């Protein structure tokens, strides 16, 4: 059972993957719409900290990120909301971003202006969102149009599309992803996710602030 959980968790431990559960396309679109209702970075950050920071753990305290697995084994999993300190620790360990709990709290309270680009990208990685959704200066249509939310995708396909858009392949549409990977195995999809994630991290490291 533990081996099955480790596979379904998406390799969250030790891979640099976020411990936050993946969302369906519908859930992601709903989150973007919610974030657009806040006209400041602090408002959007406050929402993410309060409502989108819940981590599911199995009996071995391994984060479980697959939504289908979470739904099927909800009674066996423990849920804990990640603190600002836990998020800061993850950003340092997995993205090399040094930000303190107090700095995160200052951003939430609006006592510190818009954070550095690397910090915004780190937050976006942690919460599995498009970084543009945290920036109130980004036109709404750029968020609501990312990606094609009318097409239903399985969770791995959604993550592939999200990462492809993130690294600059923004012409790829959800309907194209669904048909392209119909015959692909879960292992091959996960391998592609890891490659795209690595490319995204390389781009962020190169671009910096």
| Predicted local confidence at residue 207, as pLDDT | 62
**Can you tell me the mean pLDDT for 148-152?**
50
- Per-state percent for the chain, helix, strand, coil, to nearest 5: 55, 5, 40
Which two three-digit tokens encode residue 138?
């980004």
Q: What pLDDT digit, counting tens, does each position of 77-101 carry?
A: 999 999 999 999 999 999 999 999 9
For residue 42, which of 117, 118, 104 has the smallest C-alpha distance?
Answer: 104
Contact 32, 143 (CB under 8 A): yes
- What's the chain's Rg over C-alpha atoms? 17
Ranges of each domain in the chain: 2-207
**Can you tell me the mean pLDDT for 121-126?**
94
Instruction: Give the integer Cα–Cα distance in Å for 145 and 132.
Output: 12
For residue 124, which of 40, 199, 18, 42 has the smallest C-alpha distance?
Answer: 18
């Amino acid at each position: 059972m533990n081996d099955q959980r480790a596979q379904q968790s998406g390799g969250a431990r030790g891979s640099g993957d976020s411990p936050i559960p993946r969302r369906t396309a519908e859930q992601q679109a709903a989150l973007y719409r919610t974030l657009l209702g806040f006209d400041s970075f602090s408002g959007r950050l406050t929402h993410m900290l309060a409502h989108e920071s819940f981590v599911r753990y199995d009996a071995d305290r391994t984060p479980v990120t697959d939504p289908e697995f979470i739904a099927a084994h909800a009674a066996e999993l423990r849920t804990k909301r990640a603190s600002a300190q836990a998020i800061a620790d993850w950003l340092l360990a997995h993205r090399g971003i040094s930000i303190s709990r107090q700095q995160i709290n200052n951003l939430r309270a609006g006592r510190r202006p818009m954070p550095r680009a690397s910090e915004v990208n780190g937050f976006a990685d942690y919460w599995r969102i498009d970084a543009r959704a945290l920036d109130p200066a980004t036109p709404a249509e750029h968020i609501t149009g990312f990606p094609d939310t009318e097409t239903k995708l399985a969770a791995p396909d959604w993550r592939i599309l999200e990462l492809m858009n993130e690294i600059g392949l923004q012409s790829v549409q959800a309907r194209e992803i669904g048909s392209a990977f119909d015959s692909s195995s879960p292992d091959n999809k996960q391998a592609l996710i890891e490659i795209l994630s690595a490319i995204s991290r390389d781009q962020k490291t190169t671009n910096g602030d």
